């Protein structure tokens, strides 16, 4: 028989049997001197309890190393356990057994002697070492204090139990009692049981209790912060509800309710379409149910603000007085008769449509007539400074409509036109909708400036997005990505501007009516400067009419020798520069009045920038230089083509930043000259032993196109025959290898450039004869036009009859 040590031996129990039935415990360690309730459900364990109860009621309580195993084997159990005595047993209706077991002594398993019907093992009792002293007493007191502190943080812990535990004086009983009540891992609990020294047990328990205390304190802090936040939200909610109740009692409404009511009123008054009204009502209902602090509240509110502020039904009445419109256009612009007539035609058709609505009442209701599309998209194409943008402002003033302008230069994001979807942060409508909201009317004159400078990349193609905007058959249902509903653009008069037609996408160009604006003549520039530019610069520089005077010769000198452009933008800059210098002199007290004449121009503007006909005479005073006419995006220009010959056998080269088409034209000109060498009086052998170099000055400027063919041929013939090219002749035209002269484009711009340069004769292809009808009368009177069909005719009129010394190698 295994005898119990005399110390700590209960009076009613004096010895244990050497072999004890072993009851495996899952997730639980039973300590001596503690009572533990157990629930038995395994058949093997129930059989063990039944046998023990009928015997001496002793059994061994051993913890399992793996709590997840329902029926652990001997190798799954710890070697140290606690002998227990069954005090009470209760058999539940579900077949389980509930026990109250008293822990007695520690024991160590020597060996297992049976596994069926349940585990049995031979044991030996492990005596407890009795220790006293200040350290033990201090550790025991610390353990009790920590347990009491932990119990304060666990509301479910009975206060009576805490008082009982803290009143225990025996250190060993203190360890086992508190360890039994404290939550810990199975490994830590088993370690406390297996330690022999009370001091070691107390140290281990102090460590576990300290950690548990810190965890509970942190948990309480987290709960306190969370509870504080919840309390704050609840407090704000209750305060808002109280505020609403107080406002209802006072007959007032809160801010959110006021917003909702204001939006509801604006929706009814906006005159928006049925589709837009339903969307607005749906979003307003969502807004009314959201708290103002919600992130989506601001998004919906901004969307509704955009929706109700659009001019769904706001229009400005058209002034269709044709005489008034003609007067306004004449006041704002000099010349441009064709454009003015086209605008007056548009107004006349609109006036007839409205005046004769009664005659078509059976076919068309007045409301449908009012909603008829504008039917035309005007596109002004011309060089800079000719008044394209200001012409749109004049149209709006003549019609009595509001004017809005957006620049499309450099726009490469489709969302700039159609807007962003509301799912994006910072989403907003496109420029079309933004401009209509800004102008507050649905029928403005809308100018899309620089439409030829649109670009596209991975963000989309804005030119394609404009197809719907500029199509009169589609823009009644324009849908911005942000607004999401259709907005009618059919009442908007769209006007676009561009410098060149080539860079406008084909489908977009097809939707517009092209109106070409060419450059101004010198006399037109003179009148524009006198009527518009000088008064405007006087106002901008705070000068009075009697303080400065421009003589006619001074203006002519500025136009011819200080500017060379199709428009008048640089001309206005030069006039402004003179006005600023005069204002400086008046401010310094040097003068009170300034007369600007041809003698004082150099004082204000420096030396002339362009020499006019003098430059052409100087450039063409040797054979091999011809004067051509070129078209550029900023208007026409004079182009010099130079040819030279040198000994060698490298052939023919062309320089001057020329494109492939121009290089081919140069080669065609050389081939024509070589094929006609005998008739032109050129030594055929000269091509075999010579290099010919054709150069187009201003080499930094890219040049291309076939229209310089006649000029190249003339320069080559002049070089090889020694005949000078007439200095007062300019020419343009494409040539063939057979010597035919084919028509080219840009005739008006080229002829105006020749007029600006002071040329007296212009040689043009016979096929361009119809283009001469577009020229101003002043140009017709100043220039002699020679229409040719073959290169021989060009040479006859372009070359001097006097034969100089031909080119020698």
Task: Answer yes or no: do 291 and 341 share one domain.
Answer: no
The answer to whether the CB of 672 falls within 8 A of the CB of 735 is: yes
Is 243 within the bounds of a domain? no
Residue 409 lies in domain = 322-429+441-516
Active site residue 703: no
Looking at the predicted structure, is the pLDDT value of residue 732 above 90? yes
Mean pLDDT is highest, among 372-376, 739-743, 778-782, for: 739-743
CATH assignment at residue 676: 3.30.230.10
Task: Answer yes or no: do 71 and 52 share one domain.
Answer: yes
- Averaged pLDDT, 797-809: 68
- Averaged pLDDT, 492-520: 85
Domain count, the chain: 6
Q: Which helix (H) or strand (E) holds 781?
A: helix 777-782
Radius of gyration from C-alpha coordinates of the chain: 52
Q: What are phi and psi of 127, to 5 degrees?
A: -70, 150
Is 366 within the bounds of a domain? yes
The more confident residue out of 241 and 77 is 77
First to last CA, the chain: 140
* Burial (0-12, 13-18, 19+ Cβ within 10 Å), 275: exposed
CA angle (122, 126, 132) in 5-degree steps: 175
The annotated binding site is made up of: 382-389
The answer to whether the CB of 381 falls within 8 A of the CB of 517 is: yes
Is 531 within the bounds of a domain? yes
Task: Answer yes or no: do 678 and 783 share one domain.
Answer: yes
CA angle (164, 165, 169) in 5-degree steps: 100
| Sole residue written with tokens 């969370």 | 226
Domain final position from 65, 99, 126: 126
The answer to whether the CB of 377 falls within 8 A of the CB of 504 is: no
The more confident residue out of 47 and 248 is 47
Task: Answer yes or no: do 280 and 379 share one domain.
Answer: no
DSSP letters along 496-535, please?
EEES-STTS-HHHHTTSEEEE--PPPHHHHHHHIIIIIHH
Task: Answer yes or no: do 115 and 142 share one domain.
Answer: no
Active site residue 518: no
Domain final position from 555, 574, 605: 605
Model pLDDT for residues 368-389, shown as the tens digit of each residue: 444 455 557 888 888 888 888 8
Q: How confident is the model at residue 151 (pLDDT cuts 50, 70, 90)?
A: confident
How much is the mean pLDDT over the chain? 83
The annotated binding site for ATP is made up of: 382-389
Model pLDDT for residues 32-87, shown as the tens digit of each residue: 988 888 888 888 888 888 888 888 888 899 998 888 888 888 888 888 999 988 88
Model pLDDT for residues 104-114, shown as the tens digit of each residue: 888 998 888 88
**pLDDT reported for residue 735:** 93
Model pLDDT for residues 272-302, shown as the tens digit of each residue: 888 989 998 998 888 888 877 778 888 888 8
Model pLDDT for residues 606-624, shown as the tens digit of each residue: 888 876 666 777 777 888 9
**pLDDT reported for residue 71:** 83
**pLDDT reported for residue 784:** 92
Is 210 within the bounds of a domain? yes
CATH assignment at residue 34: 2.30.130.40
Is 809 within the bounds of a domain? no
Task: Answer yes or no: do 198 and 327 share one domain.
Answer: no
**pLDDT reported for residue 375:** 59
Q: How confident is the model at residue 5 (pLDDT cuts 50, 70, 90)?
A: very low
CATH assignment at residue 453: 3.40.50.300
Q: How confident is the model at residue 247 (pLDDT cuts 50, 70, 90)?
A: low
Is 175 within the bounds of a domain? yes
Task: Answer yes or no: do 259 and 362 share one domain.
Answer: no
Q: What are phi and psi of 498, to 5 degrees?
A: -160, 155
Model pLDDT for residues 538-592, shown as the tens digit of each residue: 999 988 888 888 998 888 888 888 887 888 888 999 999 999 999 999 998 888 8
Share of the chain above pLDDT 90, in %: 13
- Averaged pLDDT, 668-687: 87
Looking at the predicted structure, is the pLDDT value of residue 11 above 60? no
- Averaged pLDDT, 384-407: 87
Task: Answer yes or no: do 117 and 141 share one domain.
Answer: no
Is 355 within the bounds of a domain? yes
Task: Answer yes or no: do 118 and 166 share one domain.
Answer: no
Q: How confident is the model at residue 792 (pLDDT cuts 50, 70, 90)?
A: very high
The answer to whether the CB of 20 falls within 8 A of the CB of 9 is: no
Is 664 within the bounds of a domain? yes
- Nearest-angstrom CA–CA distance, 741 and 794: 9
**pLDDT reported for residue 357:** 60
Task: Answer yes or no: do 484 and 555 share one domain.
Answer: no
Q: How confident is the model at residue 4 (pLDDT cuts 50, 70, 90)?
A: very low
* Burial (0-12, 13-18, 19+ Cβ within 10 Å), 386: buried
Domain final position from 94, 109, 126: 126
The more confident residue out of 689 and 580 is 580
Looking at the predicted structure, is the pLDDT value of residue 144 above 50? yes
Share of the chain above pLDDT 70, in %: 93
Task: Answer yes or no: do 42 and 168 share one domain.
Answer: no
CATH assignment at residue 199: 1.20.58.1480
- Averaged pLDDT, 419-427: 85
Model pLDDT for residues 315-370, shown as the tens digit of each residue: 888 888 888 888 888 888 887 777 788 878 877 887 887 777 656 554 544 444 44
The single residue of 665, 707, 718, 727 carrying the catalytic annotation is 707
Q: What is the dihedral of CA 769, 773, 776, 780, to 10 degrees?
A: 40
CA angle (411, 412, 413) in 5-degree steps: 105
**pLDDT reported for residue 807:** 56
**pLDDT reported for residue 358:** 53
- Nearest-angstrom CA–CA distance, 718 and 715: 5
Q: How confident is the model at residue 259 (pLDDT cuts 50, 70, 90)?
A: confident
- Averaged pLDDT, 488-502: 87
List the structure tokens of 586.
């008046």
CATH assignment at residue 573: 1.10.8.60
Task: Answer yes or no: do 741 and 785 share one domain.
Answer: yes
């Amino acid at each position: 028989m295994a005898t119990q040590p005399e110390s700590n031996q209960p009076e009613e129990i004096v010895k244990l049997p050497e072999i004890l039935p072993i009851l495996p415990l899952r997730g639980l360690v039973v300590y001596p001197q503690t009572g533990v309730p157990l629930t038995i459900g395994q058949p093997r364990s129930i059989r063990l309890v039944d046998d023990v109860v009928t015997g001496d009621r002793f059994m061994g309580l051993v913890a399992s190393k793996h709590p997840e195993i329902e029926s652990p084997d001997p190798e799954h159990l710890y070697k140290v356990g606690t002998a227990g005595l069954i005090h009470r047993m209760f058999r539940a209706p579900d077949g389980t057994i509930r026990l109250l077991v008293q822990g007695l002594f520690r024991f160590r398993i020597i060996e297992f002697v049976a596994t069926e019907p349940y585990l049995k093992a031979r044991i030996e009792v492990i005596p407890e070492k009795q220790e006293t002293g200040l350290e033990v007493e201090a550790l025991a007191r610390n353990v009790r204090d920590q347990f009491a502190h932990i119990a304060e943080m666990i509301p479910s812990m009975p206060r009576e139990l805490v008082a009982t535990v803290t009143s225990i004086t025996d250190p060993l009983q203190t360890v086992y009692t508190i360890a039994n009540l404290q939550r810990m891992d199975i490994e830590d609990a088993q370690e406390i049981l297996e330690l022999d020294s009370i001091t070691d047990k107390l140290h281990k328990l102090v460590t576990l209790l300290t950690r548990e205390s810190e965890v509970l304190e942190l948990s309480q802090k987290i709960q306190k912060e969370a509870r504080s936040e919840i309390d704050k939200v609840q407090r704000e909610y209750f305060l808002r509800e109280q505020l609403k109740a107080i406002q209802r009692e006072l007959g007032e409404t809160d801010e959110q309710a006021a917003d909702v009511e204001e939006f509801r009123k604006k929706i009814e008054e906006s005159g928006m379409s049925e589709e837009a009204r339903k969307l607005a009502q749906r979003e307003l209902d969502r807004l009314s149910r959201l708290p103002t602090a919600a992130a989506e509240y601001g998004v919906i509110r901004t969307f509704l603000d955009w929706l109700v502020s659009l001019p769904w039904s706001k229009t400005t009445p058209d002034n269709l007085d044709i005489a008034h419109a003609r007067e306004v256009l004449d006041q704002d612009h000099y010349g441009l008769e064709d454009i003015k007539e086209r605008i007056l035609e548009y107004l006349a058709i609109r006036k007839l449509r409205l005046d004769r609505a009664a005659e078509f009442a059976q076919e068309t209701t007045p409301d449908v007539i009012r909603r008829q599309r504008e039917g035309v998209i005007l596109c002004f194409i011309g060089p800079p400074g000719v008044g394209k943008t200001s012409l749109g402002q004049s149209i709006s003033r003549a019609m009595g409509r509001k004017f809005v302008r957006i620049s499309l230069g450099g726009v490469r994001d489709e969302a700039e036109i159609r807007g962003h979807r509301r799912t994006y942060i910072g989403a907003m409508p496109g420029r079309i909708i933004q401009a209509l909201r800004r102008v507050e009317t649905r029928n403005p004159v809308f100018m899309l400036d620089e439409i030829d400078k649109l670009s596209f990349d991975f963000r989309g193609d804005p030119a394609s997005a404009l197809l719907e905007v500029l199509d009169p058959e589609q823009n009644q249902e324009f849908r911005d990505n942000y607004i999401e509903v259709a907005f009618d653009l059919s009442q908007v008069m769209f006007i676009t501007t561009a410098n060149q037609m080539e860079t406008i996408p084909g489908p977009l160009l097809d939707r517009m009516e092209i109106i070409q604006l060419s450059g101004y003549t010198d006399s037109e520039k003179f009148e524009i400067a006198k009527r518009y530019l000088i008064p405007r610069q006087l106002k901008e520089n705070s000068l009075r009419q009697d303080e400065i005077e421009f003589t006619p010769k001074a203006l002519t000198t500025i136009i011819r020798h200080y500017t060379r452009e199709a428009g008048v933008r640089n001309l206005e800059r030069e006039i402004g520069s003179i006005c600023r210098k005069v204002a400086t002199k008046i401010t310094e007290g040097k003068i009170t009045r300034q007369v600007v004449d041809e003698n004082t121009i150099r004082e204000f503007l420096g030396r002339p920038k362009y020499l006019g006909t003098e430059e052409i005479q100087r450039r063409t005073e040797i054979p091999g230089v011809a004067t051509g006419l070129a078209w550029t995006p900023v208007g026409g220009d004079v182009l010099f083509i130079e040819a030279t010959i040198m000994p060698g056998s490298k052939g023919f080269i062309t320089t001057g930043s020329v494109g492939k088409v121009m290089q081919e034209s140069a080669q065609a000109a050389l081939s024509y000259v070589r094929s006609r060498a005998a008739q032109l009086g050129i030594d055929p052998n000269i091509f075999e032993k010579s290099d010919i170099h054709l150069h187009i000055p201003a080499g930094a400027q890219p040049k291309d196109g076939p229209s310089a063919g006649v000029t190249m041929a003339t320069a080559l013939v002049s070089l090889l025959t020694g005949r000078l090219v007439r200095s007062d002749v300019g020419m343009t035209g494409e040539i063939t290898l057979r010597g035919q002269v084919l028509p080219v484009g840009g005739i008006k711009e080229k002829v105006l450039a020749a007029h600006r340069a002071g040329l007296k004769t212009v040689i043009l292809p016979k096929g361009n004869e119809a283009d001469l009808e577009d020229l101003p009368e002043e140009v017709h009177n100043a220039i002699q036009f020679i229409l040719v069909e073959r290169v021989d005719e060009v040479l006859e009129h372009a070359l001097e009859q006097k034969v100089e010394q031909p080119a020698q190698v």
